[in-house]
Structure 1
Amino acid sequence: MVKPLTEYPAGTIVRVADIDGGRRARSRMLAMGLTPGCPVEILAGGPAGCRVRVRGCEVVLCCGLAGKILAVDKDSVEVPPCDCCPGTQAKAS
């Protein structure tokens, strides 16, 4: 099931499904490594925003941007894993 990052609890590992925003927001998220299929670990979350680990870096997203990043459970078949992250990892890196 596809949900925004703000709806996942801390400690969850998800995969980016899509970025539901304009060209500028999408460009910004892609530049930070939040690409479709990429694993993301939610370090702290909620409606006020999210702190996540993606590709080995911690990123803090305001509630507006975090709400635009749609994600699925790391084991979901709805979104294929990205090619740049080796295998199905337990940790987001």
Structure 2
Amino acid sequence: MTQKPLTEYPEGAVVRIADINGGQRARARMLAMGMTPGCPVEVLSDGPSGRRVRVRGSEVVLCCGLAGKIMAVDNDSDEGPHCNCCPAPTRKVS
């Protein structure tokens, strides 16, 4: 599998959560925010204080530590779990 931490994807990338590598508290926090394996995520911005992402229609800012625990694959990849309840994020036309 070609999983990479969420911190390695550029701004504008649409990825899918493959796994959450972390302790019970970090994993529980991510799951409570709707970041479940198979769920598509759009990387909105990357800054020194964290990463802003869109997941399940909500924007969330993750510190670099938490974003690094989220393992992801390209959304169009056949690898990893797939979520049937989430619509894939769409890019807005400027």
1:66 aligns with 2:62: no
1:49 aligns with 2:50: yes
Count of matched residue pairs: 90
Question: Letter of the aligned partner of 1:91 in structure 2?
Answer: T
4+ aligned runs moved over 4 Å, structure 1: none
1:91 aligns with 2:90: yes
Could you report, residue by residue, the CA deviation over 1:39-88 in whole angstroms, capped at 9, with x for unpaired residues? 000001267521000000000000000000000000111113113214xx
**Alignment of structure 1 residues 2-21 onto 2, 5 Å:** 2-21=3-22
Deviates more, 1:42-51 or 1:20-29: 42-51
The equivalent of 1:26 in structure 2 is 27
2: CA distance, partners of 1:59 / 1:32 = 8
The equivalent of 1:38 in structure 2 is 39
Could you list the runs of 5+ residues in structure 1 that have no partner in the other structure? none
Give me the TM-score of the superposition, normalised by structure 1.
0.88
Give me the TM-score of the superposition, normalised by structure 2.
0.87
> Matched residue of 1:28: which SS?
helix
2: CA distance, partners of 1:68 / 1:90 = 21
- Structure 1 residues 77 and 52 mapped into 2: Cα distance closer, same or farther (>3 Å)? same
